[in-house]
Amino acid sequence: MDTFLAQVFTGVSAGAVLLLIALGLTLTFGQMGVINMAHGEFIMAGAYTAYVVSTIVASTELSLLIALPAGFVIGGLLGLVLEASVLRWMYARPLDTLLVTYGIGLVLQQVARDVFGAPAKEVPAPGWLDGSIPILGYDFPLTRLFILVLAGACVAALLAVLRFTALGRQIRATVGNRDLAETIGISTRRTDRATFFIGSGLAGVAGVALTLLGSTGPNLGTSYIVQAFLVVVVGGIGHLKGTIVAALGIGLLQAFFAHALTGSVAQVIVFLAIVAFLQVRPQGILSVRTRSLA
Amino acid sequence: MKTPKISPYVGWLLLAVALLVLAPAVLSDFRLGLLAKYCCYAIAAVGIGLAWGRGGMLVLGQGLYFGIGAYAMAMHLKLADAGPGGVPDFMALYGDATVPGWWEPLRNGGLALVVILVLPALVAGLLGLAVFKRRIKGAYFAILSQALAAAFAILLVGQVKTTGGANGLNNFQGFFGYALFDPANKRMLYFLAAGILLVSILAMAWLYNTRFGELLVAVRDGEERVRFLGTDPANVKLAAYVIAAVLASIGGALFVPIAGIVSPDDVGVVASIGLLAGVALGGRASLLGPAVGALLVGYAETSLSEAFPGSWSYFQGALFVLVILLLPGGLAQLLGLVGRLNAHRGNSVGDRSPRGVPRGKHSVTEVPRSASEEVAAR
Amino acid sequence: MRTKFSSRVLAASSVLALGLTATACGGAKTGDTATSESCVDTSGDTIKIGFLNSLSGTMAISETTVFKSLSMAAEEINADGGVLGKKLEIVSEDGQSEPTVFAEKATKLIQDDCVAAVFGGWTSSSRKAMLPVFEGNDALLFYPVQYEGLESSHNIFYTGATTNQQIIPALDFLKQEKKIESIFLVGSDYVFPRTANKIIEQYAAANGIKVLGEEYQPLGSTDFGTVVDKVKAAGADAVFNTLNGDSNVAFFKEYKGKGLTASAMPVLSVSIAEEEVPGVGVGNLEGQYTAWNYYQTIDSPANKEFVADFKAANGAKAVTSDPMEAAYTSLHLWKGMVEKADSFAVEDVIDAAGGVTYDAPEGTVEVDGENHHIAKTALIGQVNSEGLIDTVWSSDKPIEPDPYLKSYDWWKN
């Protein structure tokens, strides 16, 4: 049972990472229908924010806590700039958005390479995340526990904003019916921008958190972007709950396959499983079934 | 807007003269070899033009089919080099010096050619059947096909003993009996690639004017309307997707003797999106656009990376942004060469989905509203 | 208005195109031998050489540093009067971290730029991709990185370690000094780790060491939860790490997070050098072992000068590492070969190569004229608190290169 438990824990913590990187996408892709391939580079920007903060703030104990909001703002600002300069002209062409944002991602990567240099940067983890705590006989690394908690907190915060704030109501109204929302006086332009700011900001937060697990380099985003999109698609576009279930499910699946087989084969199997799954439920895990012909 | 029209036929002839007469006369062997490589990309691009430009399917994973063709050819060349019953060099080095069973059929050159043509058609057919019948489209289809290309590349990397892993397959001595080191044979390969490219463009020209070609555009612009008219759009898309896959496979198969190597980097996500760059630049829906665009992008990549090493990422990124944002019809739009279905509207090429459609709550069907109305009104 | 292509036009054009194709045939058949003529221009007062490193893509992280040390070596040589009185003219190309691009750019450097020699490459795949190009054109490549051995090309000089100068000494160290009885293998899923682990398994079998596990992760993978769980559960005496690049960062962070330490279960890495240490984090690596032939901390006049020059050119924070040193050395070795041959012609240089020596930062190295590798001293190092690597064990004298492991009777390929 020990190894089984270990796989569950590993899977859940991998799922938390997936959730964190996909959360922003459920907003920008799920709610707005914008396929932002530069999302991965926003994650990278968050990671570099953590690096910059760690060079400014002397205390490693504090720098992570300062980097989290800073990463949110940097990611969000990048999103705003992207939305205002490019995406606003392209809402009618979602597939083209994909290629444009891919191009922007390429540029951002090379910018990072030129500004920070190609070698990976060190972002020291705070001392209070050193080591692990035993849970049911399994040593759960504190860094992974932190990411799990952070992912939970982001989900809760996002739900709260969507449900209880005026902005959240405007976002939901705009997503529900753009024309009606406009007739009742909602500025859909502003709402779009706010949605994009939050979604991209979440990517920045994910980037800060990922410095705890992996390297901070120009290629950080590319390794996550395909998986992030798969999570959103499997979860059902625009469904926060579906995204959570999908992230954890894919994380667990990957952990169990990686345990039984090799890492490469596990990744291939998970990809194929997702493709097969979408044949069965093309609308994702959670979705209202319609045969909309619009 | 009235645009001056140059007959695509004239364009084709110009391209043929440029490729078959001009280029061999002025280019060095090395540069001609590079042009041959771009021709391989261009052949795949012609297929993407059909699936994406005409059919509205954003095929983000054509590297999969490019790779099937390339690896089938590479495996055959390795086996041919090894001689009857022989074992390719890298298998002796990394594996147990036995040829796996699934390699054996490729010993036969004819069979290898059959595999190059049939296997991608089968894979694309099965996948397309499943995907299009389930009405998966738009972004979903794009992400799915991208995931498949990613999975294929990872699979290849992981099988060091049978596929060469990240090294890929290279060091080919001969191509169906011709020694590959000989410049004369390399020129022959160039003419082969250029010839097949020109023929495939002609085939598209014919295809675009068939009922199938018209239906494909109709499906792109108003899938549901086509369905109401009694034709299953899935079949139309399937056919286009299969043709695109076979063309990518042919491009891949030619790429191997020309480049002298194929590796997982040539078939993965980045390579797949790279194939789209040329199509977007040239004009996805036009006849010559995808091929010319692919040739131009290939040329640009080489010369820019030679002039400014390390800077190609900026140029490629800028290319995607500027072309697709400002010139969705590509260079063809600039020249007024986009087909008659598109020339009358500024940016009416490709997939459309108006904002305000409540995607979250409904289905995966993306709704091409204005475009379909437009078509219907005519 | 519809433009129609009659099927006749289609058919005629097809025949035309294919006909042109057919007439172009008639070249050499398989089995004929290659003849190529060098176009290297030795008439002027400069001589062209090529640098081929990945300046973009995933490998830029490592290869840009090699490019910098090559450039430094070229400047030194030019300041010193050049080679045979000719100043070096550098043609630099970007390999873009893709084997196909390496093959293309190598061809370009040889055929278009007519360089006398090419320096560069890092990954096994980049070298394998370039090998047929250099053999087919009878040109010269100097490859500066430790690699998986089992290769010896007429046209390539290998200035990094082959397996018997790095991996086997590392195993000797673990066996003799750390007295290990069991080992766990972790690697990226590509040729170098798989070949290295094949050698390790046979060494282990011959020396009574149990291999408790062998795990591969896709290149660039950053999810090491499962792998570290397995390492921990197996409880081996040491871990042999052949991970590459970013994966090391994720692996060591996970390793430390799960409470594994250098004292309880040391990790010996063969792909982590000084420049990678900051990225992984000194705290995550301190006390762990590495196997190389050069460290920045080597106490010799030649190395002190090398390090000082490199810092002067690239900033005080810049560090030097084994592949950089091997690249720097490779250019000087080529200079030595050319001067011994008194010719830039490839075959003359190859003929003169055997026995050429150079007082490199790592110590004096000598070229083996048979297998084109160089004799190198193996050094096991330990990461210190400043992120540099201290030598803790040495083979004391240069080890003769043996890429095919012919002198090891336990080795059966």
User: Could you read off the pLDDT of A125-183 as tens digits, one per residue?
Assistant: 888 988 888 888 777 889 989 999 999 999 999 999 989 999 999 988 887 788 888 88
Give the pLDDT of residue C30: 63
Give the pLDDT of residue B350: 41
Bridge-partner residues for C366, per DSSP?
A: C357, C375
Cα separation of C47 and C42, whole Å?
6
Bridge-partner residues for C217, per DSSP?
A: C188
| Pick among A86, A89, A96 to test the B interface (most B CBs inside 10 A) | A96
Cα separation of C399 and C2, whole Å?
76
User: Which two three-digit tokens encode residue B70?
Assistant: 């390339």
Give the pLDDT of residue B336: 67
Give the pLDDT of residue C201: 94
* CB atoms B355 and A90 under 8 Å: no
Give the pLDDT of residue A292: 36
The nearest alpha carbon in chain C to A17 belongs to C223
Nearest chain B Cα distance for residue A73, angstroms: 24
Cα separation of C176 and C203, whole Å?
13
Residue B223: count of CB within 10 angstroms of its CB? 24
Name the stretches of chain C with pLDDT < 50: 1-10, 12, 20-25
C-alpha pair distances (Å), A262 with each of A173, A208, C213, C239: 46, 29, 12, 18
Q: How far apart are the first and last CA of chain A?
A: 51
* CB atoms B166 and C125 under 8 Å: yes
**Subunit partners of chain C (3 or more CB pairs within 8 A):** A, B
Cα separation of B150 and B57, whole Å?
18
| Pick among C98, C214, C229 to test the A interface (most A CBs inside 10 A) | C229
Q: What are phi and psi of C252, to 5 degrees?
A: -70, -30
Q: Where residue A287 falls among pLDDT bands split at 50, 70, 90? A: low
**3-class SS at C59?**
coil
Q: Which tens digits make up the pLDDT trace of C118-169?
A: 999 999 999 999 999 999 999 999 999 999 999 999 999 999 999 999 999 9
Give the pLDDT of residue C163: 95
Here the ipTM equals 0.86
* CB atoms C129 and B263 under 8 Å: yes
Write down the mean pLDDT value for chain A. 86
Can you give the pLDDT of all 378 residues of chain B as single tens digits?
444 455 778 889 999 999 999 999 999 999 999 999 999 999 999 999 999 999 999 999 999 999 999 999 999 999 999 988 888 988 887 777 888 989 999 999 999 999 999 999 999 999 998 888 888 777 888 888 888 898 899 889 888 888 888 899 999 999 998 888 888 999 999 999 999 999 999 999 999 999 999 999 999 998 889 999 888 999 999 999 999 999 999 999 999 999 999 999 999 888 999 899 899 999 999 999 999 999 999 999 888 888 887 677 888 889 889 988 888 888 888 876 544 444 334 334 444 443 333 333 333 333 333 333 333 333
Give the pLDDT of residue B159: 82
The nearest alpha carbon in chain C to B169 belongs to C129
Q: Which tens digits make up the pLDDT trace of A180-233?
A: 888 888 888 888 899 999 999 999 999 999 999 888 888 888 878 888 888 988
Give the pLDDT of residue A60: 82
